[in-house]
């Protein structure tokens, strides 16, 4: 992927096994919306970390808090390693598999325009990048993941969460996950 290493905005995809599983979904609205989100907004100066989009106050909803995750397939654990503030357009590429399913062709076109603008690249570059992703690491990864899913899914009854990053209100988040019986601690 070397020739695309200059891209600021990249495509990511959450492995199927962990779809719909996020720390956020296990938290109360109050903890997320009244504590964590305002903290992340302020900390990032109300600006998208990728494209620097900086909406005015009535449009803060265009800024999303994205959970940066890693995955432990052996134990069925989503590892939260940080929280990013990114705009809705950039966010759609962090969850691109989902975006492709839920967005109209026109919305996808607009997103691709955003992608080429942020990365200062052409549509042809975008298409090459997509192709390369599909061919190389991406597909191999998916295959490996599918294999591991099959071999481990029988042993995993539910997905759990570990908090490895330094996130605001970390203690409250962990307490809440423990309450719900979905906290996983690495020793």
Q: Which stretch binds Zn ion (CB under 5 A): 13-21, 60-68, 73-81, 136-144?
A: 60-68
Q: Does position 23 bind Zn ion by CB under 5 A?
A: no
**Complex with Zn ion: residue 88 or 145, whichever CB lies closer:** 88
Determine which residue in the list 14, 21, 37, 66 makes contact with Zn ion, applying CB under 5 A: 66
**Complex with Zn ion: residue 27 or 90, whichever CB lies closer:** 90
Query: Of 81, 80, 90, 82, whose CA–CA distance to 8 is shortest?
Result: 90
Distance CA 23, CA 120 (A): 33
Compute the least distance from the CB of residue 67 to Zn ion, in Å.
5
DSSP E strands in the chain: the ranges are 63-72, 77-87, 160-163
**Complex with Zn ion: residue 94 or 119, whichever CB lies closer:** 94
Query: Of 86, 71, 94, whose CA–CA distance to 23 is shortest?
Result: 71
Compute the least distance from the CB of residue 93 to Zn ion, in Å.
9
Compute the least distance from the CB of residue 47 to Zn ion, in Å.
9
Among residue numbers 92 through 121, which ones bind Zn ion (CB under 5 A)?
A: 94
Among residue numbers 121 through 150, which ones bind Zn ion (CB under 5 A)?
A: none
Alpha helices in 95-167 (DSSP H): 96-102, 105-118, 123-133, 139-152
Compute the least distance from the CB of residue 161 to Zn ion, in Å.
15
Longest CA–CA separation in the chain, Å: 50
Determine which residue in the list 36, 50, 80, 167 makes contact with Zn ion, applying CB under 5 A: 50
Determine which residue in the list 17, 51, 163, 177 makes contact with Zn ion, applying CB under 5 A: 51
Among residue numbers 165 through 184, which ones bind Zn ion (CB under 5 A)?
A: none
Cα-based distances in Å from 70 to 57, 67, 98, 125: 32, 10, 18, 27
Distance CA 36, CA 83 (A): 9
Compute the least distance from the CB of residue 57 to Zn ion, in Å.
17
- Give the contacts of 25 (CB within 8 A, at least 6 positions apart): none
Q: Does position 160 bind Zn ion by CB under 5 A?
A: no
């Amino acid at each position: 992927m070397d020739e695309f290493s200059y891209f600021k905005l990249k495509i990511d995809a959450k492995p199927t096994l962990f779809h719909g599983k996020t720390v956020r979904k296990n938290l109360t609205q109050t903890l997320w919306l009244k504590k964590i989100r305002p903290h992340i907004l302020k900390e990032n100066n109300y600006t998208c970390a990728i494209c620097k989009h900086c909406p005015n106050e009535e449009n803060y909803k265009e800024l999303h808090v994205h959970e940066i995750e890693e995955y432990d397939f052996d134990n069925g654990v989503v590892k939260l390693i940080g929280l990013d503030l990114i705009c809705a357009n950039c966010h759609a590429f962090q969850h691109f598999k989902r975006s492709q399913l839920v967005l109209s062709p026109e919305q996808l076109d607009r997103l691709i325009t955003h992608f080429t603008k942020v990365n200062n690249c052409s549509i042809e570059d975008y298409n090459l990048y997509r192709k390369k992703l599909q061919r190389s690491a991406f597909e191999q990864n998916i295959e490996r993941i599918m294999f591991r899913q099959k071999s481990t899914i029988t042993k995993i009854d539910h997905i759990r969460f570990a908090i490895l990053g330094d996130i605001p209100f970390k203690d409250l988040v962990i307490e809440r996950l423990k309450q719900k019986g979905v906290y996983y601690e690495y020793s």
